[in-house]
Amino acid sequence: FALTAALSEIYDRPKVFVESTYAGSPYSTLLFDQSGFLRTINLAVARGIGRSIQVGLGLNFARGELERTVEDDYIQDGITISHRISQDFSGFFINGGILVRVTNRLDLAAVFRTAYDKKAESGSSLRYRAPAAGTDILIEGSSDDLYRQPWTAGLGAKYEVTPRFRLLGDLIYFPWQKYKATYFGESERRDFGPAFKAAAGGEYAVPIRIFKKDASLPIRFGLGYDRQPMRHPRSAYALISLGAGLHFRTIRLDFGSQYGRESGSGRGLDFVRASFCLGLLL
């Protein structure tokens, strides 16, 4: 039995502020700001079948919000146009898997997540202000939107080279061609195709003694390839991951980091991620 809560998606984007000038004087400014998150609460159960098989099933409740602001300010004309959008998300899906101990050293796993609808209560506020002309126009709207998330499935393997050193690998498939979105009553088309993510890595657990207690210090390294869903241009990320942890009998601390570099779009995008996990064994 397990109960977890996690930030499964973060919608924050860097704030953008652009200023235009005319004849050496400020003429207009543009502001873009976005923030938000999707939080998932997972209730899971697992059970062993015989000595070599374990199965698990999880119920997932997703909740979140997004706020976006775009503001154009024409300084010399005294005109401001602002557009604010807010969305409250909710959704439910099931995930599960099976783990098979093939030998004393080799484990194989298969996992899945069902397709689900991420619903959104959306609100829009568009405002035009020209104080010099005495104009202040506000247009507000609301909509019940929907983002249809496709199912996913994956395979994984773990091989224990020694009791302290193990190799791991996984492959995940995403049928993004099944993705659909309805945004303020309009069907948003996405030219998506199937995508996948493959990764392999290793973990070495260093035995240590701290606070007069036996513990282990796992050190992790991994490489990955993340194919993106858009058909044109064909794009993918090369990934490298590093991590470490501190494991006691009942408490486990883990830290991970990942760097990704994109190729195919011509823009050379990159990202850095970090995660921290605290686990309790009851």
CATH number at residue 56: 2.40.160.60
pLDDT of residue 198: 98
Which residues of the chain carry a pLDDT beneath 50?
A: none
Total domain count, the chain: 2
Residue 65: CA count within 13 A, CB half-sphere: 5
pLDDT of residue 280: 84
3-state secondary structure of 121: strand
pLDDT of residue 42: 96
Q: What is the DSSP letter of 185?
A: T
- Give the C-alpha separation, 128 to 140, whole Å: 12
| Residues 6+ away with beta carbon under 8 Å from 229 | 174, 176, 179, 190, 192, 193, 194, 195
- For residue 205, what are the domain limits? 200-282
List the structure tokens of 14. Answer: 């860097």
In this structure, are residues 209 and 216 in contact, taking their beta carbons and an 8 Å threshold? no
pLDDT of residue 25: 86
- Residues 220, 178: one domain? no
Q: What is the DSSP letter of 133?
A: G
pLDDT of residue 211: 84
| Residues 6+ away with beta carbon under 8 Å from 140 | 123, 124, 125, 126
Q: What is the DSSP letter of 281?
A: -
- Residues 175, 225: one domain? no
